[in-house]
Amino acid sequence: MSQPPKIVKTYRDFGHIKRPRTLSNEQKQELLQRLFQKDASLFSSDPAIQEKIKKRLDWIDGVTPILPKIKNYQAFAEEVKSEFSHIVWCGMGGSALFPLVLGQMFGPQPGYPQFLVVDTNDPEIIKQVENLPLERTLFFIVSKSGTTLETLSHLKYFWQKLEEKGLNPGNHFVALTDQGSPLEELAKELGFRKVFPHPLCIGGRYAALSEIGFLPAALMGLDLNKALSYAQKMYEACHADIPWGYNLAASLAEFLVEAYVQGQDKISFITDPLLKPFALWLEQLLAESLGKNLTGLVPIVGESPGSPTVYGNDRTFIYLTLKGREKIYQRLISDLTEEGFRVKTYVLDERYEIFAEAFRWMLAIALCGYFLTLNPFDEPDVVLTKEKTRNFLEKFKQDKDFGIELYLDESTGISFYYEDTISIEFPRFSALLKKFFKDFSPWSYVGFLAYLPPTSEIEDIFRDFRTLVRERRNCSTVFGFGPRYLHSTGQMHKGGPILSRFMIFTRKGRNPEQIIPGEGYTFWDQQFAQACGDFKSLVEKKKPVILIHLTENYKEDLKIFYHLLEKALSFE
């Protein structure tokens, strides 16, 4: 099949995108020094915003703040490992992604409890947690602000489940939150087993080398000395004392900013399967830090590798691999290089080196924020979906209805919803999909956002959708499980590059037995409200978006959808 012609763009093609800052070598070195001095004026001239930024800069100290606490975490891990067979880490976004990475890449060492990250409100996953041996399960409730909707819902629900079993819930709960937060007050009032303080001046996505990373690592029995050693060595190799040209984070930042200048704003990760989970954390770091003000760098994670012909000229590639395993994608990397694509390769000695890479990438992305005149420490568009979700839930509690009237495609049983960002004369699903891909710029990216169980099976199904779209339209695609993506890439979707469009997938499956105590709605209701809230937010941001509502037999529906997608993408 012939491919559509490739077109090269640069930042100059969009009048609203500012030219990146250019600095002399002396100025670059001064930039590093000011960042390590935690100079908030690098990112804003507004005193009020500077005060907020100052409260997010302690990550620049690397592992120094965590060192005095390591023995306490190891002692706590030893205390609980004989009492509990399962640890459930409840958090969202920055509170959960690095623990998820550690759980998937390492898992618990022999003799340590099973470690499960719950960063979803999906009814099927909630049911799986209910079916654990709760008398031997320890719950970590993790929220920096202490107000995270999903995480507090986990607390209320599983607390009640423990009470129903006649257990003392307080002995089964630990909190990790800011001092003085509502969660800290609640944890003390309820008698939690332990309350760990979250570092006050570190934001979630920059917290990998804080309690967010090292506490779960201790609970899994990982080699903390090795992790600390790698992180410290990278800190020293990236410090302001290192000349810019030899600084490991600076070279990465320059590579990424150059990609932006050349119009290659899709940063595509090709990853050794053993390092694949780490790319999820990188995705959040890039998307939330740099996806704002209608610009930024778009991380492309989890695509199936393809031949160079399926990639547009808006791509730059990062290749993450492990020593001794470089051959896995060696042919692809060679082909991409020969075709003129820019590729930066990082070969890690072993998996523990992700602790080092975490610091390199945090520093590099902060530097990118400066060059692109963005504040990498805020997420201004995230609140939009939170507000709309709250409105949907309030309406549901009053009326037992969300006020969303879906269209039904009678031939498939799949329902759908759209608004004026995509207009068609008759509400037919096939016509809507066709319209969705009409007048489609190859520089766009398509987001598949699934409020479905976060399993590898579902991810594989959506990977097939992504491959089909990429091959037929020569464009980038992203994928995220809801509500996880709201806390990771959601900022970019709403505030980032304007050339993007989205499909949000929900499904029937309300379980009336999963009422969240004190709320009057179920986890399914909460999830559906979030999907509708994000849909409305994307519409408000003038992003083309479709909500696709599947039946309880959603896996079969997804197979049907694939064939509908094939027809919509045909060049007839």
Q: What pLDDT is recorded for position 156?
A: 98
d(CA 512, CA 526): 12
Q: Which amino acid is at 179?
A: Q
**What is residue 136's three-state secondary structure?**
helix
Give the phi and the psi of residue 137 in degrees, each rounded to 5: -120, 135
Q: What pLDDT is recorded for position 215?
A: 98
Tens of pLDDT along 415-472? 999 997 666 655 689 989 999 998 878 889 999 999 999 999 999 999 999 999 999 9
d(CA 405, CA 258): 46
| Residue 549 bridge partners (DSSP) | 415, 506
d(CA 285, CA 212): 15
Q: What pLDDT is recorded for position 165?
A: 97
Q: 58: which 2 tokens?
A: 């302690």
d(CA 217, CA 484): 21
- Which H/E stretch holds residue 141? strand 137-142
CA dihedral 104, 128, 531, 177 (to 10 degrees): -60
d(CA 199, CA 210): 7
HSE-up of residue 172 (Cα within 13 Å, Cβ side): 27
Cβ–Cβ < 8 Å for 366, 35: yes
| Number of Cβ within a 10 Å radius of residue 80 | 16
Q: Return the beta strands (E) in 463-508 as ranges.
A: 476-481, 500-507
Q: Which amino acid is at 158?
A: F
| Number of Cβ within a 10 Å radius of residue 495 | 21
- Which domains are assigned to the chain? 20-44+234-371 (3.40.50.10490), 61-222 (3.40.50.10490), 382-568 (3.40.50)
Q: Which amino acid is at 87?
A: I
Q: What pLDDT is recorded for position 420?
A: 74
d(CA 68, CA 338): 49
The gap between the terminal CA atoms of the chain, to the nearest Å, is 13
Q: What pLDDT is recorded for position 2?
A: 37
List per-residue pLDDT tens for the chain, 572 residues long.
334 334 444 443 443 455 788 899 999 999 999 999 999 999 999 999 999 999 999 999 999 999 999 999 999 999 999 999 999 999 999 999 999 999 999 999 999 999 999 999 999 999 999 999 999 999 999 999 999 999 999 999 999 999 999 999 999 999 999 999 999 999 999 999 999 999 999 999 999 999 999 999 999 999 999 999 999 999 999 999 999 999 999 999 999 999 999 999 999 999 999 999 999 999 999 999 999 999 999 999 999 999 999 999 999 999 999 999 999 999 999 999 999 999 999 999 999 999 999 999 999 999 999 999 999 999 999 999 999 999 999 999 999 999 999 999 988 999 999 997 666 655 689 989 999 998 878 889 999 999 999 999 999 999 999 999 999 999 999 999 999 999 999 999 999 999 999 999 999 999 999 999 999 999 999 999 999 999 999 999 999 999 999 999 999 999 999 999 999 998 64
| Residue 266 bridge partners (DSSP) | 298, 315
Q: What pLDDT is recorded for position 439?
A: 81
Q: 410: which 2 tokens?
A: 């009678």
d(CA 275, CA 354): 9
| Residue 174 bridge partners (DSSP) | 140, 194
Cα angle, residue 429 at apex, residues 425 and 434 outer, rounded to 5°: 75
| Among the listed residues 329, 358, 354, the one whose alpha carbon sits nearest the alpha carbon of residue 269 | 329
Q: Return the beta strands (E) in 247-402 as ranges.
A: 266-271, 298-300, 315-322, 343-348
Cα angle, residue 105 at apex, residues 103 and 108 outer, rounded to 5°: 45
Cβ–Cβ < 8 Å for 264, 314: yes
